[in-house]
Chains A and B, each alone.
Chain A
Amino acid sequence: MVNSANDPLLAADDLHLSFGSTQALNSASLRVYAGEVLALMGPSGSGKSTLLHCLAGILTPDTGRVTYAGRDLSAMSDSERSALRRTEFGFVFQFGQLVPELTCLENVALPLRLAGVGRRQAQGAAAGWLARLEVADVAQKRPGQASGGQGQRVAVARALVSRPRVIFADEPTGALDSLNGERVMQLFIAAARDTGAAVVLVTHEPRVAAYSGREAVVRDGRVREQEYAL
Chain B
Amino acid sequence: MCIVAVMSVGFALLGLLESGPRHGYDLKRSYDQRFGQGRTLHYGQVYSTLARLLKNGLVEVESEPGDGPDRKRYAITSAGVTDVATWLSQAERPEPYLQSTLYTKVVLALLTGRDAADVLDAQRAEHLRLMRELTRRKTGGDLADQLVCDYALFHLEADLRWLELTAARLDQLAGQVTGHAAGQVVGQVHP
Contacts and interface: CB of A to CB of B under 8 A. Distances in A.
Contacts of B125: 215, 226
A217 B156 CA distance: 17
Contacts of A190: 139
Given A43-B164, A217-B121, A206 B127 contact: yes
A209 interface: yes
B153 A210 contact: yes
A210 B164 CA distance: 16
A206 B157 contact: yes
B135 interface: yes
Interface range for B: 10 to 19
Interface string A173-211: 000000000000010001000000000000011110111
B36 to A, nearest CB: 23
A215 B131 contact: no
Interface residues of A, number: 17
Contacts of A27: none
Nearest to B125: A226
Contacts of B132: 210-213
A42 to B, nearest CB: 8
A186 B156 CA distance: 19
Nearest to B120: A217
Interface string B147-163: 00000011011001100
A224 interface: yes
B177 interface: no
Given A43-B164, A43-B168, A186-B139, A206 B131 contact: yes
Contacts of A217: 121, 124
Contact of A224 (B121, B131, B154): B121
A213 B129 CA distance: 9
Contacts of B161: 206
Given A43-B168, A217-B121, A224-B121, A207 B139 contact: no
Given A206-B157, A215-B128, 8 more contacts: A186-B139, A206-B128, A207-B153, A207-B154, A210-B131, A211-B135, A217-B121, A226-B125
29 contacts: A43-B164, A43-B168, A186-B139, A190-B139, A204-B164, A205-B157, A206-B127, A206-B128, A207-B131, A207-B153, A207-B154, A207-B157, A209-B131, A210-B128, A210-B131, A210-B132, A210-B134, A210-B135, A210-B153, A211-B132, A211-B135, A212-B132, A213-B132, A215-B124, A215-B128, A217-B121, A217-B124, A219-B167, A224-B121
